[in-house]
Amino acid sequence: MKHKAARATINDVAKAAKTGKTSVSRYLNGEHHALSPDLKQRIEQAIAALDYRPNQMARGLKRGRTRLIGLIIADITNPYSVDVLCGIEAACRARGFTLLVCNTNNEIDQEQHYLQLLSSYQVEGIVVNAVGMREEALNRLQQSLLPMVLIDRKIPDFSCDVVGLNNVQAANDATEHLVKNGYRALLFLSEPLGLVNTRLERLQAFRQCCAGHTGVLCENAEAALSDAAAMDRIILDFYRRHADRPAALLVANGALTLQVARAMRRLDLDWGRKMGLLGFDELEWAELAGDGITTLKQPTWQIGYAALERVIQRIEGEATTIEEQTFHGELVVRGSTRPLA
Amino acid sequence: MKHKAARATINDVAKAAKTGKTSVSRYLNGEHHALSPDLKQRIEQAIAALDYRPNQMARGLKRGRTRLIGLIIADITNPYSVDVLCGIEAACRARGFTLLVCNTNNEIDQEQHYLQLLSSYQVEGIVVNAVGMREEALNRLQQSLLPMVLIDRKIPDFSCDVVGLNNVQAANDATEHLVKNGYRALLFLSEPLGLVNTRLERLQAFRQCCAGHTGVLCENAEAALSDAAAMDRIILDFYRRHADRPAALLVANGALTLQVARAMRRLDLDWGRKMGLLGFDELEWAELAGDGITTLKQPTWQIGYAALERVIQRIEGEATTIEEQTFHGELVVRGSTRPLA
DNA sequence: CTGTTAGCGCCTTCAG
DNA sequence: CTGAAGGCGCTAACAG
């Protein structure tokens, strides 16, 4: 049996209420002041009786506004992205929008595909959660004429609103913490820097902070998430070269922290005992790994919420200038950066 | 400046190609056999020049099929759910559907709301990922007349296709593993059983398996995710009462395993050393916590994929009988259930 | 206060 | 092979 469903239309309701569809439409749109109590009553009943619900497609077609917002996520597997999503969703709910979520799975072509898809569904705006996104993919976004807000990362040569972390403050706090607790050799570990502004900003703040302290050695290295061998090499090498002083790792994001922790496991370099470890992004399991891993927690939910509000501003035409909005991160101290003697 | 966008319509294309919109429509729908090469060429160019893309709203309105599928998730924060989502998404892509994701955040009212929303957007089918969903919420689903498939959990007194884990096999494998490795007092720990079939089935298989072994003590307990104090009490009590023999915990799902691990931390009951621990659902950090946590991994992606295929069958009218489709789980052995002397 | 009418962008007969 | 006309469900003038 095929599902025919044959849902009731505004016409059915009008007929059942013995009136025209205009009045029904008025009722639906809250123009109650223009309806007699009697008519209102009849319409109400008809709607209930037929279990009628307006067809949003038709509505959107007519009004030219769908109240749909698209979200493009590079990797929905990333807890950071999920938290952001929750914030966006809450904002959508509060503002009467519906969210269309698209996960590109970090496949470059998917993004283009989804962009077209979203626009063909007449979304009114788009949020791009660029965390984990490849650069090539990001660059293709520029074509879109829709109101758009980026999360976390900027696109070189493309002005667009961005909502993200205050990288300078965050990297500074993290570095200061390590120095304060006695670490004297620091390695900033990130995925390949490329032109990714978040990585660059964090690295620069890290260096600047180091420069302010004498006797602290600073280095940085790049490692791909999937290259376990390289990771082992980098970490072990760093550890050996600084056997004479307390060494610590500052890892640029949560996904990488997971891999780094695995590597340290393999190398038998217990965090907090043989080497310090501090990672950007909070991890739900942070307290369970060894004596805990110190993290720099981002206000992810707020970031998502703010991003959506910004898109809406653009949709409403209230946003005139391109803006970058940043939030403060918070250090969550655990065993992996315990103070040294 | 308001975004007007004023996207090109089929009319614009027709005009630009010096033809009627019928031909353009034909072109769009792949009826190439009915178009002269010359006309085809012109249309192609016009489309490219105007960057035209058909309005899916209008299309859906006309044809009565939107190629939209709704997904209702109770808690998108749950990694299990995210993996399932990925499977569903892949299937959507493969079959030409678009996914509308709704996260109810485990708020009971949200579900009703989203159900209405989805149906007003004329989705052709719905997948409900019931993992973590409250019972009250599930029961309200029954009203929907749309093709619907449940994931993980059945609804009492409501026949509906279900895709999930083979709970009996899984619970059996897990229990056998614990017994084989020398544990002689087992506690099956779940959230309140209620009428949740997954919990009940797992528990029953656990008991049955225990019954097949002499000298193995079996118990079960229920604990809410958020009640840390109760959790501590239950675990500590169990541990003390069986100080004389190797004891182990079998935890019914991943979210609970996280809380249990925290509790064991608090109580200083190292898993794998003082007490065994085995949890349903794979965890990305499982190997990093202590000497690792043994898990029973579900083929989540496949479950999602299969669920979507089933919805499509229903949409196409190919599904006649109500069916339950189950997948096998796989034991991933780690340090928390190490063999005892 | 209420109903009639004309499309929104597209697909689908039905005639050329 | 091609185009004109009608209508999907709804809203927004415009008349009563």
pLDDT per position as a tens digit, B9-18: 998 898 888 8
Q: Using the CA of B59, which nucleotide's C1' is the nearest one?
A: C10
Nearest CB to A56; choose among B121, B284, B315: B121
**Among A62, A212, A202, residue whose Cα is nearest residue B57:** A62
DSSP assignment of B260-306 equals HHHHHHHHT--BTTTBEEEEES--TTTTTBTT--EEEE--HHHHHHH
Specify the pLDDT at position B44: 87
Distance A62 CA to D13 C1' (A): 13
User: In which band, very low, low, confident or very high, does the pLDDT at A3 lie, cut at 50, 70 and 90?
Assistant: very low
Give the best-scoring range by mean pLDDT among A4-18, A101-115, B138-152, B302-316.
B302-316
Contact A285 B289 (CB under 8 A): yes
Q: In which band, very low, low, confident or very high, does the pLDDT at B3 lie, cut at 50, 70 and 90?
A: very low
Q: For residue B216, what pLDDT is reported?
A: 92
What tokens appear for A97 in the block?
A: 């929008």
Chain B hits for A259, CB-CB cut-off 8 Å, are: none
Over range B182-198, report the average pLDDT. 93
C-alpha span between B34 and B28 (Å, rounded): 12
The pLDDT of residue A270: 92
Name the residue among B41, B48, B50 with its Cα closest to residue B23.
B41
Question: What is the mean pLDDT of the segment spanning A319-336?
Answer: 94
How many Cβ atoms sit within 10 Å of the Cβ of residue A58? 16
Pairing of β B185-190 and β B247-251? parallel
pLDDT for position A140: 67
Distance separating alpha carbons of residues A277 and A268, to the nearest angstrom: 14
Q: Is A30 helix (H, G, I), strand (E, B) or coil?
A: coil
Classified as helix, coil or strand, A66 is: coil
Q: What is the pLDDT of residues A243-271, one digit of tens each?
A: 899 999 999 999 999 999 999 999 999 99
Residue whose pair of structure tokens reads 């110190």 in the numeric block: A294
Among the partner residues B66, B116, B145, nearest to A53 by beta-carbon distance = B116
Distance (Å, whole) CA B297 – CA A240: 37
The residue with greater pLDDT, B146 or B228, is: B228
**Higher pLDDT pick, B201 / B52:** B201
| A250, A174 Cβ separation under 8 angstroms | yes
Contact across the interface for B99 and A99, Cβ inside 8 Å: no
Inter-CA distances, A118 with A72, A107, B94, B136, Å: 9, 17, 17, 34
B288: closest chain A residue by CA = A289
Contacts of A336 (CB under 8 A, 6+ apart): A271, A272, A276, A277, A278, A290, A291, A292, A293, A294
A148 CA – C14 C1', rounded, Å: 45
Contact (CB<8Å) B76/A58: no
Q: Is A77 within 7 A of strand D by CB distance?
A: no
| pTM listed for this prediction | 0.90
Distance to chain A for B91, nearest Cα, Å: 13
Q: Which residue has the higher pLDDT, B131 or A278?
A: A278
Lowest mean pLDDT among A251-265, A276-290, B106-120, B319-333: B106-120
List bases in chain D with any atom under 7 Å of a protein Cβ: 1-5, 7-13
Q: Residues near B221 by Cβ (< 8 Å), separated by ≥ 6?
A: B187, B188, B189, B190, B234, B238
B86-130 pLDDT tens trace = 999 999 999 989 888 889 888 888 888 888 888 888 899 999 998
Residues in a beta bridge with A325: A163
- Give B237-275 pLDDT, tens digit per residue: 999 999 899 999 999 999 999 999 999 999 999 999 999
Task: Please answer whether residues B260 and B189 qualify as being in contact, where contact means their C-beta atoms are separated by less than 8 angstroms.
Answer: yes
DSSP letter for B107, please: -
In the block, which residue shows the tokens 């009988």? B321
Give the whole-angstrom CA distance, residue B281 versus residue B251.
Answer: 9
- pLDDT value at A139 more than 80: no
Is the confidence at residue A283, as pLDDT, over 90?
yes
The helix/strand/coil state of A319 is: coil
CA distance B221 to chain A (A): 23
- Contact criterion met (CB below 8 Å) for B294 and B129: no
Shortest Cα distance, chain B CAs vs residue A4, angstroms:
9
Q: Do A289 and B284 touch (CB under 8 A)?
A: no
Share of chain B above pLDDT 90, in %: 58
| Beta strands A185-190 and A217-222, pairing class | parallel
Separation of CA A143 and C1' D11 in angstroms? Answer: 32
